[in-house]
Chains A and B, each alone.
Chain A
Amino acid sequence: MNWIEPNSIDVTPIQHLNEQGVLTGKTVINDEEKLDIYKWMVKARRFDELAVKFQRQGKIGTYAPLTGQEAAQVGSAFALEEKDWIFPSYREAAACFVRGTKPSSFFKYAMGHLHGGILKEEGVFPVQIIIGAQALHAAGSAWADQYKNNDAVSVAYIGDGATSQGDFHEAMNFASVFQLPVVYFVQNNQWAISVPYHKQTRSLSIAQKALAYGMTGVQVDGNDAVGVYETMKEARSLAKDGKPVLIEALTHRMGPHTTSDDPSKYRSKEGDEAWGKKDPIARYRKWLEGLQLWSEEEEQDLNASIEDELKQAFNEATETTTTSLGDALGYVYEKPTNRLREQILEWKGSGESK
């Protein structure tokens, strides 16, 4: 009998840039792109630090940090084309920035502004709070592109926890059955709030789940921006031809789940230190320096310009006047129903009652 044993599926992760910053694989990334990827990662980390700080100071609401996941997000989003669409969760600020979302929009989102968050023109779906729901939206979006013969790809960003949800499995199945141009990009950051990977699934990898759906699966070192970039490029070209792909990027969120979470309750210091050595930005910088593409002086210039930009972004968000509840109620339907119109008037203090 040919039993398929759970441990008979072995997956070896792709890696191009090792933890010492040495390129061990090939890359098509040109020098300018190399620098761009680095700059996006540094900007994302700085944004993250500021967002956490502002939350602590009560200037913005709850925020979900991404530090540690910069390579996974930037590397993957950078490999896409402008016409592609991404479907992020709440933790994907870096991927959204690469697509054109302004940091000020993210600040506004975290401040609870009506007009904060994502714009349609960015090819980014509004960030998803319900775990895994966006996997299906990405399939639908890919379906629309396939239907209209657009040459675009949709990418769903999900976490390891999301792979336990029904929507994830339904999405994988739809993607494969209809051969949709979609990529599932799982950032396996090892934790779903406090629940570790091994309590989320007994699969040895998330990548191997693709097999069950008749799809291509691949695991990549998610802290290696080069590996992630190359993997996404390849996945994109497969997906474009109707071969959806599941990518598992092995990474680690260095901070808390959100600003209201305390990871010391469930995570060991040793584990965090081990992952700290795999820092995606440190190794990438070493690589650039080795290539004579980067210097301490350039680093300082970059930091200063990012500081300026983010400061301005935050000021812009702070100075944005809040829109009223009355305005918000205008967005439930294209045209407010009579009842809503009445409620809007009532809210504005000029409601007439019959």
Chain B
Amino acid sequence: MTEMNMIEAINFTLRQEMEKDEDVLILGEDVGRNGGVFRATDGLVDTFGERRVVDTPLAESGIIGTAVGMAVRGLKPVAEIQFLGFIYEAMDQIAAQAARIRFRSAGNFHAPMVIRAPYSGGVKTPELHSDSLEALFMHSAGIKVIMPSSPSDAKGLLNAAIEDPDPVLFLEPMKLYRAIRENVEEERYTIEIGKANILKEGSDITLISWGSTMAETKKAVQMLEENGYSIELIDLRTIVPLDEETIIDSVMKTSRCVVVHEAVKSAGVGAEISAIINEKALFYISAPVLRVTGYDSPYPVATVENDWIPSVDRIVREVKHVWELSLD
């Protein structure tokens, strides 16, 4: 066991995977000598050389499109998009190329590749650096979407992502890169993609969150528990595939659910979760599923971002609200 923050855990994992498999290589902007703008790939070029840790020209579609070609031809590219807000530049290569190739070739071709990108606000980045865009990819069948919230999850999930035979989008909450340190197992281990983590069991209300908003959500849970609520807290870990079973089992037990995410509300993952509960557990719930989310606007400027991101207060308020709305 070693104490690591999330960025160290990611760096450790990349090194471990590259040592294990010659065919794993990293490509992206500033990932080489600079080690990535957040140091996720720090030092890797010294060990593995420029052949395996590649500073590419500044072109997102180029990074992902070449990774698709590599992946189909037997390499295991781990591509970095410097900030998730820039991923629109590569949208075709992700959603229309990588995600679809298995389906449109009836399994004859597939693109096992990982795309890593930092996202999330609360760190006062310039415009278009902070957006949470996971729902776009949930809507693009064929790709998996992972959003860890802790160093040890980041490690186990990244190990699994690199091993996975399908394209995986691995979204890293930059707010949590250095916020948490914990003991992380150095031995290689994988966490199943598509399995949510029940962080805390409870009986009154199910709170579901993932990635960047786990920090606020955990704080809110603590306050609520102090106020006598018994909260079941679920960290989704993976958006695609979605662990419906864990969600439904929990809601059947608690009969109430609040979803917390940083992305805008409309057509977000929260809406999806709400719909699933509606489809599969309607008669077990005693209140509407509520959502605490970012507002339906582009991600705002730094001076107001803390009002935009779901806050502990807003989460607490919505949980109390759902309690008030309950039929029983």
Question: Is there a chain B Cβ closer than 8 Å to A147's Cβ?
Answer: yes
Select from chain B the residue with minimum beta-carbon distance to A180. B66
Complex: chain A residue closest to B100, CB-CB: A332
If A136-B62, A170-B65 touch, does A141 touch B106 (CB 8 Å cutoff)? no
Q: Quick check: A331 and B103 within 8 Å, CB to CB?
A: yes
- Tally chain A residues at the interface, Cβ within 8 Å: 46
Question: Please, how many angstroms separate the alpha-carbon atoms of A118 and B109 in the complex?
Answer: 10
Question: CA of A339 to CA of B241 in the docked complex: distance in angstroms?
Answer: 8
Minimum distance in angstroms from A182 CB to a CB of chain B = 9
CB distance from B255 to the nearest CB of A (A): 15
- A87-B141 Cα distance, complex, nearest whole Å: 23
Complex CA distance for A118 and B65, rounded to whole angstroms: 20
Q: Is the pair B110, A334 in contact by a Cβ cutoff of 8 Å?
A: yes
Given contacts A137-B97, A139-B66, contact A333 B102 (CB under 8 A): yes
Q: Say whether B73 faces chain A, with CB atoms less than 8 Å apart.
A: yes
Q: Within the assembled complex, what's the spacing in Å between the Cα atoms of A187 and B73?
A: 25
Instruction: Give the contacting residue for B97; candidates A118, A130, A139, A334; CB below 8 A.
Output: A130
The stretch from A171-179, A193-201, A246-254 touching chain B is A171-179
Residue of A125, A136, A142, A333 touching B109 (CB-CB under 8 A): A125
**Does B166 reach chain A (CB closer than 8 Å)?**
yes
Q: Kindly list chain B residues whose C-beta atoms are within 8 Å of the C-beta of A126.
A: 101, 104-105, 108-109
Could you tell me if B105 and A332 are in contact, using CB atoms closer than 8 angstroms?
A: no
User: Given that A144-B70, A174-B59, A334-B165 are known contacts, is A119 also in contact with B108, CB under 8 Å in the complex?
Assistant: yes
Cα(A166)–Cα(B77), bound, Å = 22
User: Which of A120, A140, A141, A167: most chain B Cβ within 10 A?
Assistant: A140
Please state if B73 and A144 are interface contacts (CB–CB under 8 Å): yes
Set A130, A141, A147, A154: member contacting B92, Cβ < 8 A:
A130
A142 to chain B, nearest CB (A): 8
Is B162 on the interface with A (CB-CB < 8 A)?
no
Chain A residue at minimum C-beta to C-beta distance from B248: A354
Given contacts A170-B59, A173-B57, contact A339 B244 (CB under 8 A): yes
Chain B residues lying within 8 Å of A166, measured Cβ to Cβ, are 59, 61
How far in angstroms is the closest Cβ of chain B from A215? 14
Residue A9 is within 8 A (CB to CB) of chain B in the complex: no
Contact of B70 among A115, A141, A173 (CB under 8 A): A141
| 8 new A-B contacts at CB < 8 Å, known A120-B108, A139-B62, A333-B144 | A136-B93, A137-B69, A140-B70, A142-B69, A143-B75, A173-B62, A332-B103, A353-B279
3 A-B pairs closest in CB distance: A140-B69, A136-B65, A170-B62
Q: B residues within 8 Å of A by Cβ?
A: 25, 51, 54, 56-57, 59, 61-62, 64-75, 77, 92-93, 96-97, 101-110, 141-142, 144, 165-166, 194, 240-242, 244-245, 248, 279-281
